[in-house]
Structure 1
Amino acid sequence: MSKSIFKKGMLASSIALILTSGTSAMAAEQVSSVAESDIEVIEVKGIRSSLKENINAKRFSSNVSDVITSEDIGKFPDKNVAETLSRITGVAVSREFGEGEKVSIRGAGPKYNRTLLNGQTVGTADWFILDEANRSFNYTMLPSVIVKSLEVNKSPVASIDEGSIGGTIVLRTRRPLEMDANSVSLSLEGQYSETSEETDPQLAGMYSWKNEDESFGVMVSAVKQERNLERQGFEVLGWVESADDKYSVPRNIGAPKFVQSRERETIFATLQYAPTDSLLMTLNYLDSKMDVDNQNSNLINFAFGDRAEIIANATKIENGAILASSAGGNYAYNFINRVSSTQTDQLHLDVDYQGDGYSLNVELGRTEAKGGTYRETSWEYVAVGAGYEYDLTGTPNVNVGVNPADGNNFAAGWIWGGAKPTTDEETFAQADLTFDVEFGPFTAIKTGVKYRQAERTQGRHAYSWHAPFADGGPDSDHYLDHIFDSCPTLAACGLDANGAISIDAGVTGNITQQVSHNRGLMEDIAFNGLNGVSAAYAIHDNLAEIWEVKEDILALYVQGDFSGDGYRGNVGLRHVSTDQTSYGYEFSGDSWGLNTINGDWLTPKVLNWVSQDNDYSEFLPSFNIAFDLTDEQVFRVGAARVMARQNWADISSSETFGSLTGGRGTGSRGNPNLAPTIANQFDLSWEWYYDDASMLSVAYFAKDLSSLRSTVTVTEDRYDQENDVFVPVDFAQPGNGLGGSIQGIELGLQHDFGGFGVSANYTYTDASADEERDISKAGTGLVEGTSKNMLNLMAFYENDDYQARIMYNFRSDWYKGLHFNGDELFNDSFGQWDASASYNVNQYVTLTLEAVNLTDEEIVEYNTNEERIMSIYSNGRRYVAGIRVNF
């Protein structure tokens, strides 16, 4: 950056710091002296200093927003950006696998918020095969070490991208021309996870350089992290109701163990060139890849034909749900092996030109992501007629009628598999022009245009090991028979060679004593061969789950920034047009929805790639004003019309469903004609900055939503491959429903005692849908992602050598959407304690220690009512110790 441009950035920071401790008149004098001196970077170090900078950013913003900055290079409050966001008032985070992944803001779920890196989209392709393609950002892909600050814009401005109902999160990275030349940051950490009992390394490094003229600079960051993740738990994968009786019966009661090896490598680089005092060019490049192979083992029952017996033997019933009973049905081991990964990159060119009375910003770039499950193999061995008894009250207790730790009790059942690759791409181009004006209260007029071309795809393959041998084979008709003839029980062929394991989470009974499956041998048999017979399996396109969605988005805006004696703000209008096309297969039902791609076994007579268009335009006005009631108090008012496009999976031509064993299934499907969700919102806030690191704030927000996604049920027959029959499936399909409302209150307090400080915030949110609640229709009358109560607490202590903090994060229960089987899924209230401490050996070296989930809280999910448990997951505690070097 050139000296003049560089000093503008430093000047802004100086103004913020000066105004915090003095009056406007004093600031004017001091700013004048600052402008005339060759001031260098203002370093912000320590918890207290970081909190002061956060307060400054919030205080002088024109809209309702919150900011968190790093205390030092590579030192964010949490290792995961999503977990850092959860400390902000009104922001909640999901932690399905023990790490923060997706965020909700002010009662709006993850799909109703946007995350931008330096103002632009970052592609996301989820790795988990059960995840739907949504618009939320997966924060596990972005290590916090590369982030300088993050801001949550709760009230919109016309110049920021549309697409969120709750808020827009902007992550800012460091730039070399803002840093000292030859800045270096290195860190080495070891993370111990209680559940996996593994210690994993985490390495990070950053180097920044600029020339003496400060016209050219380069910064490179690299992060390598490993984590052996293990999640143990208890699951009920559905509650089945029938028109023939008044009861709800649990099915697929199991105790799963999920194991995953995560290897994440991230490179972020920034190149800056300022050939003149007026021109600055910045090129950012992000490349982040995570290999996430995983396996899930589950000892699970199949309570379909057992319904009458379960009802007859019931001993505990609440609200029609049979919570304790017994039956003589089957229990099975279900072993799932997955090869998975996810990768994202972004190339972003940012050009700033400062003219005489105007400035021009041009940004160009592209982001691409690919990922998913590239191979899945599922094996099933069954204890036929073993029988079981269960009690789901309190801590669930389940006992199987045979010893589940003995592989000899489980006979050959079935093998299936597949793949689910996904991609996410976007090309963007924008130009923003700002004119300095003196027109009444207006000080600047901004206008701009932005074009985005986005594409999201999903592939889906199904593997069949029971396809006929192409050129003949052994005596059996197909390879699946050959496998099970050779390995008739789980103990045969060494499939149980890894011995027994104990599930230690959320359940008691002998269901916790299980066989550890031999993944390597299973994979070898499935894909290479057995006893001299080469593996033979068919790969089919699962036509109903293959889709593509394209969007062309054009946005235009004009915005006026104004200020006067004791007030400042902006008013603007953004117009957005969206051209959307959804693609999918149209096919006949003669091949059961499959098309064999490595042979000629199954081919539908009718197979066409078809499309559906859905176009819409919106005007989005916004207004923000901040009044300086006193030197210490600010009152804000904001009003806007906002929009959020529906999830990719919801507007796709896809469908998916669960197990069909038992003669009926449930699932979900997309709707390409969905309209976006629109909301008119209103914000009020009062902020009292009674000390340079202390503040008290109260905010009220209200959102009047239209066209919330509703759910309708469509029943169609689908093919049950295992039993070679067609069965009815009840599909939950999204529709353009009625609206709803979200309103709430945010309370925030931050106080510094000098060396010791506390921070607390609370959010109350009341969300309701205009659609009438009908418990017999899944998803009706519900708003996703909203917790009524959220609380964050933090206490810290620091001196010149030591820093320590303890943090608590809580949110009450919330509706998560439809389970993959079509059932409603709720998350019970969740609270987590975390702590961190550090010791400065000297000005360059710091020792760190962190603890995550100190009280070993479990994640609990349920269906409709809390007694209808769906899952209990334990991710365990994690401890991180490390050393960080900055110079």
Structure 2
Amino acid sequence: MATHTRFNLSALSAAILAVSSFNASAQSNDIEMLEEVVVTGIRGSLTDAMDIKRDASGVVDAISAEDIGKFPDTNLAESLQRITGVSIDRSNNEGNQVTVRGFGPSFNLVTMNGRQMPNSSALASDGVNRSFNFQELAAESVSGVEVYKTGRADISSGGIGATINIKTARPFDYDGFTAAASVKGVMDTSNKTGDDVTPEVSGMISTTFADDMFGILVSGSYSERDSQIQRVGTQAWVRNLGSADTSAINTETNPTKSFWTPYTFDADVSNHERTRENAQVVLQFAPLDNLRATLDYNLSRYEENIAMTRTSYWFDNPTSVTDSNGTSTSIANANDELNFWAWDYHYYTENDSIGLNVEWEATENLQLTFDAHNSTSHSQPDGIQAETIANLKNPRIDGVGMVDIGAQLNGTSLPTITYDDSDLIAATGAGAFDSQNIVTDLYQRRGNEIENTISQFKIGGKWDNGDGGALRSIHFGLENTTYDVDAYSTLTFEFVNADISSLDLDVNPLGDFGDQLDGADQLLPFLVSYDAKEFIDILDAQGDYYVAPPTINKVEEETLAAYVTFNFETEFNGFPIALNAGVRYEDTDTSGTSIQNGITNLNYRNTEELQVLYDDTPSAQTLTGGYTRFLPNLDVKIDLNESLVGRFSYSKTLARPDVSAMFPATQISVARPNGPFNATQGNPGLLPYESENLDLAVEWYYDDGSYASIGYFKKFVDNFIGSTVEKRQILDVNGEPLRDSSVNARPGCPDGGSTPNPACLSQAGDPIVTWDVGTPGNLDSTEINGWELNVQHMFGDSGFGAIVNATLVNSDAKYDISSFDQTLALTGLSDSANLIGFYETDSFQARLAYNWRDDFLLSTGQPQNFNEPTFTEAYGQWDINASYDINDNISVFVEGLNITEETTRSHGRYSEQLLAAQQFGARYNIGVRARF
């Protein structure tokens, strides 16, 4: 194993920093410097993480960089999943968000160097939430990560599952001049249209000068990835859609004989191009032995472009036969058509953060810290809508579809897709996939431009009791955090009848589509490809493109917090005890404002659409809320002997609601003749989730770098936020309720013309629409408990080592598939496990890792606003990496992710209700790393 020397903080201050460096009060470090030897490599990294865990107050896990610019995995989230109790969500088979102890991304607070980080997403499907996207941050820029699973008064609030602090490097961390760089080629085996090899480069230069009074560090990284996803699935499973033979249903488990039919069946291919840029500049200044100032700027730029094509069926009025649980197994829909979709995704996010930290050792016993930062995440700063969607279809002749569609479901394999276009051939002389039988249907443009800004300052202090005694130190501080979100949301949705003869349609055989998926050979024979943006350009040139007015939503949340903690060290019956007791006070005020154009009418434009018409006069609606909370904590650590540690922790923590849940605007989401009529409205008066947490743990540190631990946790969560539905009327700009003009339609209606037909507009005699308006509210309480088991073992001096861990979680908020009106269900709750083996010598390192996560509830509302669950099925993935040190400065490496090319699946209420089966490839990285 390589070693190097560096200047660092005193031993006492380093221990404090390792446990609580991200809190401003706990960053009051002794500035006195000394030389220490740091062991690098896999074993050194694991030993550092173990020492942090052992010395911590409360339950803390950590990951340390194996060397400068070398993190255990290429993706930060994929490194975090190796920690007991942490599992991840994947996007395009790359880790992007984390779940801790069964609590999903929105329940965990992510900080960088102790500062809350903003988040934004341009995709309408993502909403506006507080979940940090780890895809946007390169692992090479990170020196360590700490996962605080128990609450502490001197830690910023916002995480019920955990607070995750990302630490980046500082120039005073190193001895004089230090530089590191890496270059790698990325080969994604799923890629079909992009570059076979894409680059990833990163570098860092750090130096100190003027007798170590000044320091500067500059780092940066750039990466590209081209990939493809192949998917088979449906948009939703709908309860009691169409008609069904339900004679096989077991009425003991399904007494109402409810049945479920797929809304669609889809086969699609999406090609992804992703670019990520990260940069950091850090300046440090230590003019006196007892004073240090740090100014840092962090930047990230994330861009992804996706072109997707899809061939699908829409089962508008199907007939089906069900199995014993009510799932349709044989589906037929006569006189219909095929649909040919195209998506163009373009989303871009800019993240910028600038901060100042000042540490002052005011007296021998008193250390003070000031920390302030302003951080912004801005999605779609160019204002371009993120999603362009187009749909073509087969023609209807005299209003009647000419294609019979159907599907046979085969348990948990892919469905057998059937279509009969003989009537279409007889009527037109061409089949369903012939370009002369492909006509326009609809288009959509939608997305969010979001700017999320967090301004935060902290004033903290630490008093050390120099006289000894049980009370060793007191930490205290004051914080102010302003959290602002500005969201500019657009949704344009129109059925069109336009000339697309100039559109470049390409009918491709599916070929090797889904060759990793069981039953892929039973799917449709062709995929129709075209460009969604080109389609919109044609409509625009013909005057058929309609732009819906935007909605502007704003949320401002200001929190004033104060805290005090007491650290004691004593003995009880001869056993050394360390105790941390504290309380945090928080006062939060919230305000939500929505600005939108008023609704003037409903237009019966299409047999499947009641078009919402708006005026040209935006108006604002503002609602407010607020709350005050006390958050106490007590952590007790007892050294039972030289190697055995016992822990008890009690804390109260909170997590704040997703931002989109607080927008007061009323948004109409679905308006179809004969229903459904769905709308949503946010609630700025939502209270936070609150959790009382108990932790018990025993840790056995039996050898150098080796330990075993077992922990039990229990959480009592109040104010759980769920969806409530209110049946009510929605008023137009004149204060009159909206009416349904499709009932007893007047002559000439529906009318799809570009100018609304007055006969098709709602009139006084039409029936009033009763809307299902979904509003979030604080509902029930729930309990979550679980076990965390971990063994980390070094096999002496052989160079071999292994890690085995598992997390078992349980809750009374599990989703009940037999219930149709459940309001509380915890998403993300699942067991998980890791198996890691490694080998390391002075010049060679290799690691093989397997990560497994059991099935879990992803969401309680499938797309298309149907109140049905989405379950992600169990998934396991093998990753491997190896490196060889050519000399003290240069090493070469290879990394493999998902080397067995695992696929993912999700299903509805029952495992037979396939929602999506996705196929990915393995990724291999080959590169060289240098350090000077």
Question: TM-score of the superposition, structure 2-length normalised?
Answer: 0.83
Pairing 1:87-486 to 2, within 5 Å after superposition: 87-197=82-192, 198-242=196-240, 246-306=258-318, 310-311=319-320, 314=321, 316-328=322-334, 329-356=336-363, 357-372=365-380, 374-383=385-394, 384-392=401-409, 393-396=411-414, 397-402=416-421, 406-437=434-465, 438=467, 440-463=469-492, 481=497, 484-486=498-500
CA spacing shift, 1:493–1:642, aligned 2, 3 Å:
closer
Decide whether the 8 Å contact of 1:405 with 1:513 is kept in 2. no
Between the aligned partners of 2:341 and 2:671, the Cα distance in structure 1 is 13
How far residue 395 of structure 1 moved from its aligned partner, in angstroms, is: 1.6
Inter-partner Cα distance in structure 2 for 1:445 and 1:859: 50
Among candidates 789, 796, 812, match of residue 768 of structure 1: 812
Judged with a 3 Å threshold, the aligned counterparts in structure 2 of structure 1 residues 406 and 196 are, in CA distance, closer, same or farther, namely: farther
Matched, 1:555 2:561: yes
Q: How far is 1:608 from its partner?
A: 2.1
- Give per-residue Cα distances to partners, 1:286-336, cap 9 Å, x unaligned: 110111122222212211233xxx23xx2x524112132222232201111
* Residue 783 in structure 1 maps to residue 854 in structure 2: no
Cα distance in 2, alignment partners of residues 439 and 387 from structure 1: 85
What's the secondary structure of 2:106's corresponding residue?
Answer: helix
Distance change >3 Å, CA 855–CA 409, structure 1 → 2: farther
Are 2:912 and 1:867 aligned?
yes
Equivalent position SS for 1:791: strand
* Alpha-carbon distance in 2 for matches of 1:363, 1:38: 22
Give 3-state SS (helix, strand or coil) of 1:58's partner.
helix
Distance in 1, Cα, partners of 2:719 & 2:16: 44
Distance 1:501 1:422, change over 3 A: farther
Letter in 2 for 1:401: D
CA offsets 1:491-530 (integer angstroms, 9 cap, x no match): x5423288866532645356454335232xx524523778
1:799 deviates by: 1.0
Cα distance in 1 for residues equivalent to 2:926 and 2:203: 17
Residues 608/37 of structure 1: CA separation in 2 closer, same or farther (3 Å cut): closer
Q: CA deviation at 1:885?
A: 0.7
**Distance (whole Å) between structure 2 residues aligned to residue 592 and residue 368 of structure 1:** 39
Match status 1:793 vs 2:811: no
Question: Given the superposition, is the C-alpha separation of residues 369 and 676 from structure 1 closer, same or farther in structure 2, using an over 3 Å criterion?
Answer: same
The answer to whether the Cα contact below 8 Å between 2:817 and 2:909 also exists between their aligned partners in 1 is no
Q: How many residues align?
A: 827
> 1:508 and 1:656 mapped to 2: Cα distance?
37
Q: Which residue of 1 aligns with 2:527?
A: 515
Secondary structure of residue in 1 paired with 2:52: helix
Q: Which moved more, 1:441-450 or 1:660-669?
A: 660-669
Structure 1 residue 146, shift from structure 2 partner: 0.7
Separation (CA, whole Å) in 2 of partners of 1:660 and 1:253: 21
CA distance in 1 between partners of 2:345 and 2:68 (Å): 37
3-state DSSP class of the match of 1:650? helix
* C-alpha deviation, 1:239, in angstroms: 1.6
How far, CA to CA, are the matches of 1:676 and 1:149 in structure 2?
Answer: 30
Per-residue CA shift, 1:645-671, capped at 9, x if unaligned?
111122222546368588426675533
Match of 1:621 in 2: 632
Deviations 1:816-853 (A, max 9, x none): 22334333222111111111111111111111111111
- Whole-Å separation in 2 of the counterparts to 1:842 and 1:516: 54
Aligned partner (choices 612, 615, 637) of residue 604 of structure 1: 615
For 1:68-83, list aligned pairs within 5 A: 68-83=63-78
Change (3 A) 1:404 1:560: farther
Give SS of 1:267's match. strand
Q: Is the alpha carbon distance of 1:540 and 1:274 closer, same or farther for their aligned partners in structure 2, counting shifts above 3 Å?
A: same
Shift of 1:569: 2.6
Structure 1 residues not aligned, in runs of 5+: 18-34, 467-479, 594-600
Q: How far is the alpha carbon of 1:603 from its aligned partner?
A: 4.2
> Closer, same or farther in 2 for the Cα pair 1:419/1:765, shift >3 Å?
closer
Shift of 1:606: 7.1
Match 1:65 to one of 54, 60, 76: 60
Give the stretch that moved more between structures: 151-160 or 257-266: 257-266
On the 8 A contact 2:815/2:826 being kept in 1, the answer is: no
Structure 2 residue corresponding to 1:537, chosen from 538, 545, 561: 545
Query: Counterpart amino acid of 1:229?
Result: S
Distance 1:205 1:48 in 2: 24
2:662 maps to which residue?
651
Superimposed CA distance per residue, residues 556-586 of structure 1 (whole angstroms, 9 cap, x where no aligned partner): 1011111134121311000111101111247
**For the residues of structure 2 that align with 1:89 and 1:103, how far apart are their CA atoms?**
12
- 2:755 maps to which residue? none
> What letter is aligned with 1:794?
I
The 3 A distance-change label for structure 1 pair 13 and 382 is same
CA deviation string 1:36-92 (max 9, x = no partner): 997435333111111111111111111210011010011111111111110000011
Structure 1 window deviating more from structure 2 (741-750 vs 811-820): it is 811-820
**CA distances 1:596-623 after superposition (whole Å, capped 9, x unpaired):** xxxxx96438742011111101000001
Residue 464 of structure 1 deviates from its aligned partner by 6.4
Assess, with a 3 A threshold, how the Cα gap between structure 1 residues 375 and 39 changes in structure 2: closer, same or farther.
closer
Aligned pairs for 1:541-690 within 5 A: 541-543=549-551, 546-565=552-571, 566-585=576-595, 588-591=598-601, 603-604=614-615, 607-654=618-665, 655=667, 657=669, 660=672, 663-664=675-676, 669-690=681-702
How high is the TM-score relative to the length of structure 1?
0.88
In the superposition, relative to structure 1, how do residues 671 and 870 fare at CA in structure 2: closer, same or farther (>3 Å)?
farther
Aligned pair in 2 of structure 1 residues 523, 649: CA closer, same or farther (>3 Å)? same
**Structure 1, 709-718 or 126-135: larger mean CA deviation:** 709-718
Q: Is the 8 A contact 1:404 1:514 kept in 2?
A: no
Give the conservation status (yes or no) of the 8 Å contact 1:424–1:456.
yes
What residue in structure 2 maps to residue 881 of structure 1? 926
What is the RMSD of the two structures over their aligned residues, measured on CA atoms?
3.0
Counterpart-to-counterpart distance in 1, 2:751 and 2:912? 32
- For residues 727 and 864 of structure 2, what CA distance do their matches in structure 1 show? 14
Q: 1:843 to 1:14 in 2, by over 3 A?
A: farther
Distance in 2 (alpha carbons) for counterparts of 1:735 and 1:729: 18
Contact 2:566 2:581 in 1 (8 A): yes
2 CA distance for matches of 1:117 and 1:345? 12
Residues 324 and 464 (structure 1), Cα distance of their counterparts in 2 relative to 1, 3 Å cut: closer
- Alignment check: 8 A CA contact 2:9 2:33 kept: no
Rounded to whole Å, the distance in 1 between the matches of 2:16 and 2:784 is: 37
